[in-house]
Amino acid sequence: MNIKRLGHRYFDSESGVTLDCWFPRHNEKIGRSCLSQKHRFIQSDFVEIEIGNLSDTPTSTEEAYLRLHLLSECIVKPNEQNLEGIFSLLTNVAWTSAGPVLPSKVEELRGLVASEHHHLTVFGIDKFPRMVDYVVPPGVRIADADRVRLGAHLAPGTTVMHEGFVNFNAGSMGACMIEGRVTPGVVVGEKSDVGAGSSIMGTLSGGGKQVNAIGQRSLLGANAGIGISLGDDSIVEAGLYITAGTKVTLPDGNVVSARALSGKPGLLFRRNSQSGAVEALPTDPGRWGGINATLHNND
């Protein structure tokens, strides 16, 4: 896939360091302006970036931003392109209501914009900006924009509630409810529910390489977690965290490590309230029919 896009770049006036790059969805030459540019903390220009092969590693900050845009525009899916080294290409930026600046320049900027009756708000200090400031995907609801990074992949019909968090190179493959943490590399299948306070192990912390996913019509209960993939029509009860090494008792009495059940459909994971053992039982599809279609009509 060869991709060529026109972007608008902000860079630090003193050092020339690229702070961000916005690529309009329709590849138009559209500029931006902000108070930090007016006060000459940053400058802007237009750049044309071409990616010949998405399997190659990104080589510049501008290319890294384009790759994140492709994810949030749902042009490519998580794990379909090479993002190795992306952290080293991105600058730590203070994302403010007056525009992006280097963190060391926030206080000076605050004093200058005060003369224009502007109360400076710092939304975050991070390498990744909020997705909605660059890409607004169709048919999606996001209750708290601070909790979805640029590079998140959100399919139409997805709802991210206030406690939900979606990182870059992760997201949904269809209409679903996200109230927990969806970490890098993780995808959530259509009509699934990631319950409040739940967590899915990604590929960054501790250098893990296992790519986990949640299948279709599945439920990860509130405050639960998985270090394995959850297959279609499966459930993890609230509060239960299953790592790859968790010992799980099967209906026939055999005990296996949870990794042996990774991705298998139609399983209910629960903890026996009397013995404390983690069990895997067949699910009854009639008891969990997926998310409420009316609630997830986001047109």
Mean pLDDT of each 10-residue bin along the chain, 299 residues long: 94 98 95 97 98 96 98 97 96 98 98 95 97 96 97 97 96 96 95 94 65 94 95 96 95 95 96 94 74 66
Give the pLDDT score at 209: 67
End-to-end alpha-carbon separation of the chain, Å? Answer: 30
The phi and psi torsions of 164 (rounded to 5 degrees) equal -75, 150
Share of the chain above pLDDT 90, in %: 90
Question: Is 179 among the residues known to form the active site?
Answer: yes
Angle at 235 (CA atoms; ends 233, 239), nearest 5 degrees: 165
CB 81 within 8 A of CB 55: yes
Q: Using CA atoms, how far apart are residues 295 and 179, in angstroms rounded to an integer?
A: 14
- In sequence order, which ranges of 127-187 are alpha helices (DSSP H)? none
18-22 sheet: strands from edge to edge: 18-22, 3-12, 42-51
179, 190, 237, 279: the catalytic one is 179
The confidence score (pLDDT) of residue 210 equals 75
What pLDDT is recorded for position 112?
A: 96
In angstroms, the CA 25 to CA 23 distance is 6
| Per-residue exposure over 181-197, b if at least 16 CB sit within 10 Å of its own CB, e if not | bbbbbbbbbbbbbbbbb
